[in-house]
Chains A and B, each alone.
Chain A
Amino acid sequence: MNKTIIININSIVFHIEEDAYEVLRSYMIEIKKHFGRTPDSGEILQDIENRIAEMFAERIELGKKEVISMIDVEEVIAQMGRVSDFEDVDELSDETYDDHQARSKEEKHAPYGHKKIMRDPDDTIIGGVCSGLGYYLGMDVKWVRILFVLFFLFGGSGILLYVVLWALMPVASSRADKMAMRGEEPTLQNFKKSFEDDLENYGQGFTQAKGFVSRNSRVIGDVISAVFRFIGKLFALFMLIISGLTIMGLIFMLVAFSLGVLGYQNEIIFPPLEALSKDQALIALLAGILGVMIPFMALFHLFVRILFKTRPMNTYLSLSLWAIWVVSVIVLIVYIIIGNQNFKETSTIKVEKPMPLKSTYYFTEKDLRIIDAATLENGQKEYRLRGNMENFSRAIRNDISVRFEPLDSLQKPFVQYHYTARGKTYQQAAERAAKIDYEMSEEKDKMIFDSHFKLEASDPYRGQEVAAVVFLPLGTVVEIGEPLRAKLRGISYRSCLQEADGERKASKTVWVMQKSGLICATSNEQ
């Protein structure tokens, strides 16, 4: 059983066997190249094609023989003559003897200029990329492979390169492709050579047919080949597992964050999603996860194919995956823009609240996340945290800063709060800023700053933050408790600790308000 190809010569249709077609095609290319230089080439080629069609037509007998075979083609070519047969008779009168000799010599020895980058399916470890590149670069395949392995070792960049090349390089499936890959001119002689090479390879048995190293270093070659194949398989397996785990992780993320967005689980919140409304966040989440997951699925599929030699993906499936991926990326971009819109305008509301007049103040922080502190028998405290990942929690925010500024010694101390929020419009931003409920409180001679402020459940995060500025008269003594440390701006709690040598573990620092601001007084206080 043979595959046939339908060709059309001078508007006559012929069925021709695949092998015969390749020979005929290369013959016609040869002829075209030969006569292409003469002014009447069009007409000559027309005549020759016409004659070939006629000779084919003579060979066809309806019902008995309807397909042009290799023998037919060979006989027709023999009758028509090879290009080498033409050379004697033709053209000589147009050129001098020397010219002709020089040119034909050049034609014989100059390598065929147009090599194609293609993957070699006969010489593969993973996808035949290296062997294809080897032909293109004129390097021995083993060196290309060694280079790639070196790339793998250096940061794994070779992996990406390999995958990209694999995707871009077409596979050299036909004999003509393979010859183009090797840079051989698609002439009849080369076709024959290629065909004979194949036969020779088959004769040598399959082990040799797939070997990639020249014959003189066969044994080393086989070993290297086996090692490479093993490394390749191992690598493919590794990548398969990695991409598989990534896909599973992404699915888990999708479920978890969806629950978070829907409000079932308060703690699981993906920060960028807070910029969107609930519905938008769900869609954006889905788009984002798909946008990342589909490439990993493609990778997964690729490595499954390598390892288990399965069939390529169904065209419809791969096309729809592509479409989904593109849509996901577009949706994601749209939501990034929408999300940014929600942060376009900024509004800050300033509120001043008086403070009780004292000569010494103690400022510290209360951690709101601790809801139950019980003293155990061993004297340690047990903390039960409501939300251990502060940044992942929507309901409470900790964008709070505290600064201290001097006042004239006669003026009364006060605290100035700056409530800031963002929104699509200035109006929205201002409303949000007004909603922030955060103030210092006084408790047993301590001035307490809460660690967090709460957002109402209906209120999304829009860059809400609080800056508290404590204005104190000159000469006021200020003690700052360790917990407040992270919120301080403008003074360095740490350097003050260092000044008080040996007291690094002190639970507070002492400062005095001067004209330039708070000055560390811990060391003087002993």
Chain B
Amino acid sequence: MIADNTQTQMRKGILEYCILSIISKGEIYASDIITELKKAELLVVEGTLYPLLTRLKNNGLLSYSWKESTSGPPRKYYQITAEGEQVLKKLDITWKELVYAVEVSLAGRSNS
């Protein structure tokens, strides 16, 4: 159970980082984010995404605009804010530090 929890927390932090990264590439629709995340094998179901997007938006890292769709109701397109860009830069640094830390920690382990 503890392992599960640790995994979940690791994945959760990384998930937010990845979402911010994907959105920073340009205006994007939620289900396209899912497609990208699926490609990266990070997320499987869409339902998980919406609470995260909402939280990021409410923290001022994202904003969205409505766009007409050909195949249904209007869609929410997300884009990153200036604040989001700053946070993303900090996260980039943190990520590099983490990768370094993990590499150093794992060095010498036979099965890695």
Contact = CB atoms under 8 A, between A and B. Distances in A.
Interface of A: 10-12, 31, 35, 38, 40, 43-44, 47-48, 50-51, 53-54, 56-58, 78-83, 85-86, 88-90, 92-93, 97, 101
Contact of B51 (A40, A54, A88, A101): A40
9 contacts: A40-B51, A47-B53, A48-B46, A48-B47, A48-B50, A51-B50, A83-B47, A92-B5, A93-B12
B112 interface: no
B72 A12 contact: yes
B28 interface: no
Given A47-B53, A50-B73, A85 B47 contact: yes
Contacts of B55: 40
Interface of B: 1-2, 4-5, 8-9, 11-12, 15, 30-31, 43-48, 50-55, 58, 69, 71-73, 75-76
A80 B45 contact: yes
A51 B31 contact: yes
Contacts of A56: 72
A85 B69 contact: no
Given A79-B46, A86-B47, A90-B51, 12 more contacts: A10-B73, A47-B54, A48-B50, A50-B76, A57-B71, A79-B45, A80-B46, A85-B45, A89-B48, A90-B48, A92-B12, A93-B9
B23 to A, nearest CB: 15
Contact of B50 (A44, A57, A79, A97): A44
Given A51-B30, A85-B48, A92-B5, A44 B73 contact: no
Which 10 pairs across A and B sit closest by C-beta, in order of nearness? A81-B45, A57-B72, A81-B47, A54-B72, A47-B50, A40-B54, A80-B47, A88-B8, A89-B48, A44-B50
Contacts of B69: 54
Contact of A58 (B2, B45, B50, B72): B72
Nearest to B12: A89
A93 B9 CA distance: 8
Q: Is the interface of B mostly helix, strand, loop or mixed?
A: helix
B8 to A, nearest CB: 5
Nearest to A79: B46
B65 to A, nearest CB: 14
A340 B45 CA distance: 78
A115 to B, nearest CB: 29
Nearest to B50: A47
A44 B46 CA distance: 12
A12 B73 contact: yes
Contacts of A11: 73
Nearest to B76: A47
A93 B59 CA distance: 15
B73 to A, nearest CB: 5
B7 to A, nearest CB: 8
B48 A81 contact: yes
Contacts of A44: 50-51, 54
Nearest to B43: A89
A53 B44 contact: no
Contact of A85 (B1, B11, B44, B76): B44
Nearest to A97: B5
Nearest to B11: A89
Contacts of A80: 45-47
B44 A81 contact: yes
A43 B11 CA distance: 24
Given A40-B55, A47-B54, A89-B11, A53 B45 contact: no
B77 to A, nearest CB: 12
A92 B73 contact: no
Nearest to B7: A88
Nearest to A56: B72
A38 B73 contact: no
A81 B69 CA distance: 23
A54 B46 contact: no
B9 A92 contact: yes
A54 B9 CA distance: 31
B71 A58 contact: yes
Contact of B73 (A57, A78, A86): A57
Greatest chain A CB density within 10 A among B5, B44, B72 is at B72
A48 B52 CA distance: 12
B60 to A, nearest CB: 14
A89 B75 contact: no
Nearest to B47: A81
Contacts of A90: 48, 51-52
A54 B71 contact: yes
Contacts of A58: 71-72
Contact of B8 (A48, A57, A78, A89): A89
B95 to A, nearest CB: 18
Contacts of A85: 44-45, 47-48
Given A54-B69, A101-B1, A47 B30 contact: yes
Contacts of A54: 31, 69, 71-73, 75
B9 to A, nearest CB: 6
A485 B85 CA distance: 116
Contacts of B51: 35, 38, 40, 44, 86, 90
Nearest to B64: A47
A80 B46 CA distance: 4
A89 B71 CA distance: 30
A382 to B, nearest CB: 100
A79 B34 CA distance: 10
Nearest to B13: A93
Greatest chain B CB density within 10 A among A38, A56, A79 is at A79
B72 to A, nearest CB: 3
